[in-house]
A and B are shown apart, each in its own frame.
Chain A
Amino acid sequence: MKYVVAMLCLLQSSWLFSQEYTFGVVPQYESQKLNAIWQPLLKQVSEQTGVKIELITVKSIPVFEQAFANGEYDFAYMNPWHSVVAHEKQGYLPLIKDAGRSLQGVLVVNKKSGIDNLSQLEGAEIAFPAPNALGASLLMRADLALLYGLKIKPVYVQTHSSVYLNVALNSTKAGGGVLGTLKQQPKNLQQKLKVIYKTREISRHPIVAHPRVASEIQLKVQRAFLNIGESDEHKHLFAGIPIIEPSIATLAEYQQLTEWGLSAFYVEN
C-alpha cells in the first residue's frame, strides 16, 4: 500500500510536472511584440523550473478582463487594479511585483491656462485615456472625487498621448496621465504642459497565479523569476516588460486599492 501510495505520489508529481500552464498577458502591445518580450523570459522560467508554460495573448483588454474573470489563465501579468478584480473573482494571488517602480497618476494642464489649483477644475472637461486606466484614470478620478470632492466631466480619448494633446490644444482643461508616458512625449508637447497634481503611489503590474496551481509550482515559478532578476546573465529578459527589479508581491499591497474606493469608478464591460 505504501508503495502504491508512493507510486501514486510519484505518478502525481510526474503528472504535476508534465502539466502545461497558461500565462496570460495584458494586451499593452500587439501580440507579436508581446511574444517577443515574453517568450524568452517564460522559456527561461520553464528551463529553470521544468514547468511548461504557454504564453497566451489576446487582442483587447475587455477580452483579457473576461478571460481572467473566467479563470482561464494559470498565471497572468496584469495591472494592479485587474489583480484586485481577479482576486475577487477567481482568487488570483500576486507572486511578483516590480520593486523598482511604482504607479502614480498625474494631472496636467496647459501651461498657458493659468490653472494651478484643483478647485479651478470644478465642472471642467478632463481627458482620460480610458475609464479603467489605473493610474491615469481610476486613481485620478477617485482622488479628485473622494479626496477633493470635485465634479468633473471625464472625456475618454483612448491613449495617453491623446490626453496630453487634448490639454495642449485646449480641447480639455486638464488631463489624466502617468509620469512615465508624460516623459515619453515629444519635447514641444511636454513644454506646453505642467503637472498640478499627483495621486497616491501604488505598486506596479504584478504577475499573479490562479489558486488552482499547486503552491509548490507557484513557489518554483516565483523563485525562478526572482533568480532571473538577480542573474546578470538573464536580467535583461525583464527589460522589455518592463520590470526593473522583480520582488515578491503581497496581496495587501494591492488590496489598498479597494480601500481607496476605486471600485466605484471601475467600469464593467
Chain B
Amino acid sequence: MLRINWWRSLRVQSFVAVITFGFLLVCLFIFYALPEQARWVNEGLSKTAQRSLQQLSTSVTTPLLTRQYAELYEQIDSQLEIQPNWKGIQVIDEVTKNQLYPLDTWQGTIERSDVVLSQQVLFLDKPLAKIILVANFTNEINESSKLHYTLIYSQFTILVIFFMALAWLVDYRITTPLRRLEFAFSKLAKGDFNCHVDRQQKNEIGSVINAFNKMAIEVQSNHQKLNRLRIEAESASKAKSDFMASMSHELRTPLNAILGFAQLYEYDEFANNIQKGNAKSIYRAGEHLLLLINDVLDLTAIESGNMQFNFDYVPIKPLIEDSVELVSELAKAQSMTLYTEGFDLLKGLNFYIDKRRFKQVMLNLLSNAIKYNKQNGEIYISCKILNNQQCEISVADTGCGFANDDISRLFKPFDRLGAETSKVHGTGIGLVITKELVERMQGKISVQSELNKGSCFSLTFNTFEQAGFSSNSDACVIKEKNFSANSLPILDVLVAEDQVTNQQVLKQQLTILGVRSTFVSNGEQAWQTLQNKHFDVLLTDIQMPLLDGFELTTRIRKDSRFEPLIIIAITANIVKKNLDDCHKVGMNGFLTKPVELVKLKSLLIKHTKTVVNSEVKTNQKPETETHSFDQLDLSVLRAMLGDDPAVHCMVFNAFLQTAGEQVKLIREYASCDDFTGIAFQAHGLKSSSKSVATIRLADICQEVETLAENKSVQSNLIEELELCFNAVIAQLSRYCQQYENK
C-alpha cells in the first residue's frame, strides 16, 4: 500500500490551513487592530477632552479677571473630580507667567501614555491665561480593548467551530471514503474480489466508488476467465507432455532394436564394406535419435514436475574433472584446446546436488561449447570461489556467440537462435533442461556473450565444507560392512515430531532398524519425557509447536545430565543457515526430509558406535511404475521405508488421515489472509508429504510457505496445491488398494 506523506494528507492540510488562518487573524488583531483602535480611542477622547477644556476656559474667564481664585480652584477641582481620566491641570497667568493652579509644584506628565492638551483663556482677544491638561486614557483604551477582545474571542471561537465542522465534513465526505476505497484497492490487488465498497453518497465520490465496484466485478470475471483458460492450457500442456513422454518411451523400444541390429553389422563377416558403412550411418543416426528422445523425456519430466533428484553432499572437484575428461576426446577430434583454471580451489568443497544431474549439466555445457565453437577454437573451464560461500564454474568458448537480445530466447525450448539450418545437430532443448536442472539444485546459471567472439556460461552453487556431514552414505557403507548384524545393543530413541505422517514413517524406519522408539509431538513433551526415562538418541524436528528443536536442544545442552544424549535434527529446510544453527545449538548431526533409511542408519551408527540390525535394500525398481504413480517418488519411498508395501500403506494411511485437515486449514487461512497460519500449516504438510515421498506436493508446500512468510500467497497457488493434493490422495489410495488386492 502506498504510504502517504503526512504533510500531503488532506486531513493534515486542512488542519494546517485552519491553524494558519487563525494565526494570521490573531496577528492582524494584535499588530494592527488593537493599536489602531487604541489610537482611535485616544484621538476621540482627546477631542472630547479638548472640548471640555474649552468650556472650562470660558467658565474660568470671570474668576481670572476678578482674581476670584477660589472660584477658579473650585471649577478646576470639580472638573478634575468629574473627569476621571484627567490627571492634572495647570493654569499659568499669561501676563506674569505665574502658576495659578495648582498651588503646589506642577508634576507635569508622569506616564508615557499621558496626553497633554492646552487651551488659552482669552478675554477680548487678549490672552489671560493658559490651561494645560494632562490626561490619561489608558483605562478607556483598556476597557475598549477588553470589549474588542471579547468580540474577537467570540468571532475566533465561531470560526474555529466552523472550520472544525468543515474539516469534519471533508473527513467524513472525502477522506474516509477515499481510505475505504484505498483499502478495497489493496484487497483487490491481493486478489480478494470480495471488496465491494458501499456507496453512501450521491456525489462525485459516490460515482468513483460506483466505478470501482464495477471495475472490481469486471476484474473478477476477467480473472475467472483467465483462470479457466490457464487451467485449460495447463491441462493441454500436460496432455502434450504426457503424450511426449509416452511417445518417447515407446520410441526407445524399437530404437533399441535398430541400434542393436545396426551394431551387429560390424561383426557380420558376410557384410561388405558398403553395408558396414551404411549400418554405421544407421547407428549414428539412431544414436542421435536416442539423444533427442532422452532430451525430450527430460523436458517432459521437467514440465510435468516429475524430474527426480537424489541430493547429497558431493565433492565437486572429481566430478568436474570427470566431465572434462569425458569431453576431452571429442574436443581433440575437433582440434580444439581445453584450458582449465582454478580446479585446485575446489579441493575439499562439496555441493549439495544430484551427482548424475550435475554431470549432465556440465556435459551439456561442455558439449555445447565444442559444438558451437570455431574450427581450432578454445574452451576455458575456470572455477572461482566467491566471497559468500559460493563457487562459480564457468565454461567459455570462442565460437560465434550471440547478441545480448537473444539471451532471453536462449532458454526457450526448440529455439536454436538460427542454428536450425546449420550443420550442427541439436534439439534446442539442452539449455532448457540445463537451466531447469541447475535451478532445481539451488544453483544459478548466467550467460555472457559477444557476437562472433564467443559465449560464457557460468554456474553458481553454494559450497559446503562439512567434513562431518559429507559422504555420510560412504561412511555408512563402509561401516556397515564392518559390523555383524547380530551383535547389537538395543538403542532407545526419542522422536519429537508434530506431524503424524512423519511419526509413522520414522516409526516404521526405526522398527526396521530394530531400535526402540518413543514418540512425542513437541519439544515440551520431549523435555518432560527425557526427565523420566533414559534415551540414547533424540531425533527432533526443528519446527514444532510449544518448543522448537533449537530451543529444546539449547535446554538439553544446558543440563549436564543429558551430556551423552545424541541429538539429530530432522529438517525439511536445507538452508545453510539452518544447518549452521543446528551445529551452533549443539546438535550432533542432521537428516533431511524425506529421511532415507540408509542415511538414518548410518547416522545412528556413526554417533552411537553401535550397529542397527537390518540390511537395507536400496535397489530401485524399474521406472516404468512411476508414470502410474507420478506424484509418488517411489525411489525415495523405498530409500525411506524399504520395499515392504505394507509399511508404505501404514504410513500412507497416517498421511491420508491428517493431511486433508491441513489442506483445509491452509485454504481457510488463505481466505482470511492469515499468513502465519498458512506458513505453519504448509510447513507441516511439506514435512508430511516428504515423508510419503510426494515430492511435488512438498515443493508446492515449500513455495506456499516461502510466499506466506513474505505475505504474498496467490490464490492460484493454493488451487494448485489442492489439485496436487487431490492427485496425491488418489494415488496413495490406489497404491494401498493395489497392495490389498494382491
Interface of A with B (CB < 8 Å)?
127, 155, 157-162, 165-166, 168-172, 186, 188-189, 192
Is the C-beta of B104 less than 8 angstroms from some C-beta in chain A? yes
A170 and B68 contact, Cβ closer than 8 Å, known pairs A161-B73, A188-B104: no
Interface pair B67/A171, CB less than 8 Å apart: yes
Interface pair A162/B68, CB less than 8 Å apart: yes
Give CA–CA (A159, B66) in the complex, Å.
11
Is the C-beta of B343 less than 8 angstroms from some C-beta in chain A? no
Interface pair B103/A158, CB less than 8 Å apart: no
A157 and B103 contact, Cβ closer than 8 Å, known pairs A165-B73, A169-B98, A170-B98: no
Number of B residues, CB within 8 Å of A: 14
Interface pair A165/B104, CB less than 8 Å apart: no
User: What is the count of residue pairs linking A and B with beta-carbon distances less than 8 angstroms?
Assistant: 47
Nearest neighbor of A162 in chain B, beta-carbon distance: B70
A158 and B66 contact, Cβ closer than 8 Å, known pairs A188-B104, A189-B103, A192-B103: yes
Give CA–CA (A160, B99) in the complex, Å.
20
A158 and B68 contact, Cβ closer than 8 Å, known pairs A168-B103, A188-B103: yes
Give CA–CA (A148, B521) in the complex, Å.
144
- 1/0 per residue, CB under 8 A from A, across B366-389: the answer is 000000000000000000000000
Is the C-beta of B432 less than 8 angstroms from some C-beta in chain A? no
Interface pair B68/A159, CB less than 8 Å apart: yes
Nearest neighbor of A127 in chain B, beta-carbon distance: B67
A169: B residues at CB distance < 8 A: 69, 98-100, 103
Which one of A157, A189, A192 lies within 8 Å of B67 (CB-CB)?
Answer: A157
Give CA–CA (A1, B100) in the complex, Å.
79
Is the C-beta of B71 less than 8 angstroms from some C-beta in chain A? yes
Cβ distance A12 to chain B, nearest Cβ, rounded Å = 52
Nearest neighbor of A165 in chain B, beta-carbon distance: B69
24 inter-chain pairs at a CB distance below 8 angstroms, sorted by A residue, are: A127-B67, A157-B70, A158-B66, A158-B68, A158-B70, A159-B68, A159-B70, A160-B70, A161-B70, A162-B67, A162-B68, A162-B69, A162-B71, A165-B69, A165-B70, A165-B72, A165-B103, A166-B67, A166-B69, A168-B103, A169-B100, A171-B67, A188-B104, A192-B103
Residue with the greatest number of chain A CB neighbours at <10 A, chosen from B67, B71, B96, B104: B67
Nearest neighbor of A161 in chain B, beta-carbon distance: B70
Cβ distance A168 to chain B, nearest Cβ, rounded Å = 6
Cβ distance B619 to chain A, nearest Cβ, rounded Å = 139
Nearest neighbor of A172 in chain B, beta-carbon distance: B67
B73: A residues at CB distance < 8 A: 161, 165
List residues 92-135 of chain B with CB under 8 A from any CB of chain A: 96, 98-100, 103-104
B67: A residues at CB distance < 8 A: 127, 155, 157, 162, 166, 171-172
Which one of B68, B98, B99, B104 lies within 8 Å of A157 (CB-CB)?
Answer: B68
Interface pair B69/A171, CB less than 8 Å apart: yes
Cβ distance A109 to chain B, nearest Cβ, rounded Å = 16
- 1/0 per residue, CB under 8 A from A, across B294-318: the answer is 0000000000000000000000000
Give CA–CA (A166, B72) in the complex, Å.
11
Give CA–CA (A147, B280) in the complex, Å.
185
A171: B residues at CB distance < 8 A: 67, 69, 98
Cβ distance A169 to chain B, nearest Cβ, rounded Å = 6
A161: B residues at CB distance < 8 A: 69-70, 73
Residue with the greatest number of chain A CB neighbours at <10 A, chosen from B71, B96, B103: B103
A192: B residues at CB distance < 8 A: 103
What are the 10 A-B residue pairs with the smallest beta carbon separation, nearest first? A161-B70, A165-B69, A162-B70, A159-B70, A162-B68, A158-B68, A162-B69, A157-B67, A157-B68, A188-B103
List residues 48-95 of chain B with CB under 8 A from any CB of chain A: 66-73
A172: B residues at CB distance < 8 A: 67
Residue with the greatest number of chain B CB neighbours at <10 A, chosen from A159, A161, A165: A165
Cβ distance B672 to chain A, nearest Cβ, rounded Å = 98
Give CA–CA (A165, B101) in the complex, Å.
10
Cβ distance A55 to chain B, nearest Cβ, rounded Å = 28
Give CA–CA (A171, B72) in the complex, Å.
14
Give CA–CA (A188, B103) in the complex, Å.
8
Give CA–CA (A57, B69) in the complex, Å.
28
Give CA–CA (A161, B103) in the complex, Å.
13
Cβ distance B65 to chain A, nearest Cβ, rounded Å = 11
A168: B residues at CB distance < 8 A: 103
Give CA–CA (A155, B365) in the complex, Å.
143
Give CA–CA (A188, B100) in the complex, Å.
14
Interface pair A158/B71, CB less than 8 Å apart: yes
Give CA–CA (A132, B100) in the complex, Å.
27
A162: B residues at CB distance < 8 A: 67-71
Give CA–CA (A233, B72) in the complex, Å.
42
Give CA–CA (A155, B67) in the complex, Å.
9
B100: A residues at CB distance < 8 A: 169
B66: A residues at CB distance < 8 A: 157-158
Cβ distance A233 to chain B, nearest Cβ, rounded Å = 38
A159: B residues at CB distance < 8 A: 68, 70-71
Give CA–CA (A189, B98) in the complex, Å.
16
Give CA–CA (A127, B70) in the complex, Å.
13
Extra 18 A-B pairs, beta carbons < 8 Å, given A155-B67, A189-B103: A157-B69, A158-B70, A158-B71, A160-B70, A161-B69, A161-B70, A161-B73, A162-B69, A162-B71, A165-B70, A165-B73, A168-B103, A169-B69, A169-B103, A170-B98, A171-B67, A172-B67, A186-B103
